[in-house]
Amino acid sequence: MTLRTVTDPLRAAGIPAIMLAFLAGTALTATAAEDDSDAAEDEGGYIEEVVVTASKREVNLQDSSLAITAYTGEQLDSRGIREVTDIAAAIPGVDMAESVPTESILIIRSMSNNGRGYHRAEIWRQQTNTSYLDDVVLFPGITPLKMVDLERMEVLKGPQGTLFGKSAMAGLVRFVSNKPDPAAFSGNISASLDTVAGGGTGNSIEGYVNVPLSDSFAVRLAAYRYDLPGFIDVVGVQPRDDADTEETDGYRLRARWDLTDNMALEASLINQTTVVGDVGKPMATWAPSMETNVHALQLTAFDPEDPKRQWREPGDTEEDVKSLKFEVDLNAFTLSLIGANMTNHSHFYRNALWECVPDGGCPGLTVGGLTPNGYAYWHSSEGPSERKIETFEVRAISNVEEGDRLEWIAGAWYENNNHRRAGRSWWDTNDAEYIASLSGGWGSFVPRCDAFTVQEIVDGAVLANRYQYNNQDELAAYTELGLNVTDQLKVSFGYRYSKLRTNFYRGIRDDRCFDAGNPNHHPETGNTSDWANVGTYRLNVDYHYTDDVMLFAFVATGYRPGGTNNIQACPRGQTTCDNTTRNETRYRVPYDSDSVRNYEAGIRSTWMDGRLLLNGSLYRVDWTDMQSPVFQASQRLDLYRIRGRVIVNIGESRIDGFEGMAIYAVNDELNLQLNVGYKIAEILADQRQDYVGLPLPGSSSGTGAQISLLADWSRMMPIGEVRVNATARYAPRRYGHFYTENPVPSYMTTDLSVGVRRDALELWMNIDNLFDERAITFQHPGYPGWPYRPGIDWREQYSVFTMIRPRTIGVGVSYDLGQ
């Protein structure tokens, strides 16, 4: 089987050529618009207004100069989209890195120096993006909330900080839920059955209910359960077919009480729990054996048509969010007080072999997966990973009436973010004889003391319990002032001032083998950085050339918090130190906040009496003082025998790009939408000199245009209202890590949804990945110690991959309540 690379029709075109073609089309449309206006009236059809509130005011998308892509709840529902990753490839400027359950990883405008982006349990790196639900910031990264009962989803690209409490360096995803409505009772319930090609079957049920309790008080509850089928087989020492199942249960309760005509109180509760049978990352595999030499393994190549894994890594996550918002209209401005408390828990099993150096780094383990007596074992976990976050925001927004020249937003933000992640080690084997032969020896997963009996180890006692902490505090004030200079020209300036502090530390505790009297004990140590002051800004100019054409330009800056490394190494000036007595020294080595500056200019326009919409923008991002964890920091820091990873400011990069959107209402039955994105992301400076000139990893840098086409058709027929919704997406090839050999191939997918609605009842069928494209979204180069095989096909390397789901067919029924 051969993976094919889809030919990109715009691949040969650079950013200027694409932009010129787009603007040329705009100019030609302007010339023809007047002639076509009468025809437009005859043919009918128009583009529905999309209202966004990312600026904290209700604004027509065409009047917003934010770098934003928005999809309405109707667009999401009609396509069966319930995860950000289901639509990510249709968002210009966004690359989907990992799309496995619970780890939805998006790279916005190439701002990642890690090939897969940053997953939510990441403790070594700070996140570059975040997500919101209504006015409440969620967890760092993209929180994989199921998108049920949403008014719309907004993706804001580039630095955010002068409109939101939580700053985001690369961008953010905002979920806007439907508000409780005291006017009338309403609800909906939907159920479906699903099957995935080459895998299992599943089902789902979801719904919402809006209940008015008085003229001024209403509650809205959305709830769901998804039992999604797997398609990846585990073939190693613990085989299981279709192991990567996903079971998700959740609810979102939102209540609103209008205390007076100008005062309201709103509360929300959110809970979502997900259990996965396996993380779903296929790889090359090998037959279980007692082999100890990794070079002697005979690999079976990874085959996307029949994906398999060597070992099973199950896990679970839970998100819990509680928030309270008080809002009062004080005539001149509206004041909001928003507080939230959030907790997140995740726990995933990991096979220790993958993180061990197989050439002797973990004595007692065999790379073949079996003990000498032929028993399987399992011996590592990631987590529990626990976050506890408290936030509070005060925000004032001026009330603007038509003709007002001045508008403003001002706010203050507090966040206390605590993250603890454990790494636990144990044996899972019935081979007591083998365990007894290792007792008292040393390896990452073999006790070096007599604290455990052989039977306890065989029974799965936790031998090592390592904790890492990454805690952050932030105090910030932000404001944005807008001046309507004329009826056509508006100038805005925003500024954010933040005080930041981080506390990163690690240690081992809670295990009997590593008591404080043991010379090999690593005591838990804290390392709180000094408060750092960071200022960011946004300058924006909007010019309405006509009622239908707006030109805009802006510059915006953003950041990630800096911090302090607590490094354990030989005493400064020494190149060796005693490994037995650990006569090492701890050093506090700070690293700075990295920062980005985003320059952008573009156009928002409508033509043909509102039947045609053309938007486009050019942008440039300068990313300086890039933070990156490195393993080989000794030379830079003049320290030797450094343990583990160290975060350093590694270099700088530049990203140039274009994003465009066209929507055409062909008639009152058919709407077409075209999205185009193209970017070049290059590392300009890096302490690792061989990285200079490479594209940023995980990005489709210079490899072609990202293209998506959405079509929506509906017609009233005797059987009811019939609709057809289709989405086609092309993703150009990308580089999975810091090398250009064996890039992730380009791919194209098509999704189709068909529905028939009669009164309150709708029957529908969704076909995701209609043509069963077996596409890769990320390829990991392997961990240190696993040999790279030059000249060998990339599917036969010691690597893990993520891929899109094969063709998935769902049939379902939906019923509206209260009609």
Q: Express the helix, strand and coil content of the chain in percent, nearest 5 each.
A: 10, 50, 40
pLDDT at residue number 184: 94
**Alpha-carbon distance 804 to 772, whole Å?**
10
Collapse the DSSP code of 551 into the 3-class scheme (helix H, G, I; strand E, B; otherwise coil) and give the result. strand
pLDDT at residue number 43: 52
Give which of 83, 178, 172 is closest to 127, Cα–Cα.
172
Q: Is 172 exposed, middle or buried (0-12, 13-18, 19+ CB in 10 A)?
A: buried
**Alpha-carbon distance 264 to 257, whole Å?**
6
**Alpha-carbon distance 663 to 665, whole Å?**
7
Handedness of CA 31, 35, 38, 44 (dihedral sign): negative
Collapse the DSSP code of 457 into the 3-class scheme (helix H, G, I; strand E, B; otherwise coil) and give the result. helix
Q: Is 9 exposed, middle or buried (0-12, 13-18, 19+ CB in 10 A)?
A: exposed
pLDDT at residue number 546: 94
pLDDT at residue number 517: 45
DSSP 374-410: S-B----EEEEEEEEEEEEEEEEEE---TT--EEEEE
Q: Is 52 exposed, middle or buried (0-12, 13-18, 19+ CB in 10 A)?
A: buried
pLDDT at residue number 425: 76
Question: Domains in the chain, start-ordered, CATH in brackets?
Answer: 15-817 (2.40.170.20)
For the chain (819 residues), the mean pLDDT of every run of 10, in chain order, is 38 41 41 42 60 66 83 89 82 79 79 64 70 86 86 90 83 92 96 96 96 96 96 91 95 97 96 93 89 80 92 90 96 95 88 61 73 76 84 94 90 92 78 74 48 76 77 92 95 94 69 50 60 91 95 93 74 60 64 91 93 95 88 55 70 94 93 94 87 85 89 96 96 76 85 96 96 87 58 70 92 91
Instruction: Count the neighbouring beta carbons within 10 Å of the beta carbon of residue 586.
Output: 12
pLDDT at residue number 39: 41
Look up residue 591 and give its two tokens: 């690293």
Contact 172, 161 (CB under 8 A): no
What are the tens digits of pLDDT across the range 756-796? 999 999 999 999 999 999 998 887 765 545 666 666 666 67
pLDDT at residue number 372: 80
pLDDT at residue number 1: 34
Give which of 574, 472, 480 is closest to 532, Cα–Cα.
472
**Alpha-carbon distance 608 to 30, whole Å?**
9
**Alpha-carbon distance 564 to 472, whole Å?**
12
**Alpha-carbon distance 342 to 391, whole Å?**
9
pLDDT at residue number 795: 67
Q: What are the contacts of 682-690 at 24+ separation with CB within 8 A?
A: 682/653, 682/654, 682/655, 683/113, 683/651, 683/652, 683/653, 684/651, 684/652, 684/653, 684/654, 685/651, 685/652, 686/650, 686/651, 687/636, 687/648, 687/650, 687/651, 688/630, 688/650, 688/738
Give which of 647, 625, 651, 627 is closest to 637, Cα–Cα.
647
579 phi and psi, to 5 degrees? -75, -20
pLDDT at residue number 538: 94
pLDDT at residue number 376: 77
pLDDT at residue number 428: 76
**Alpha-carbon distance 349 to 69, whole Å?**
36
Which residues are within 8 A (CB) of 240 and not within 5 positions of it... i.e. 6 or more apart?
Answer: 233, 234, 277, 278, 312
Q: 533 pairs with which residues across the strands?
A: 499
Lookup result for tokens 């390896």? 443
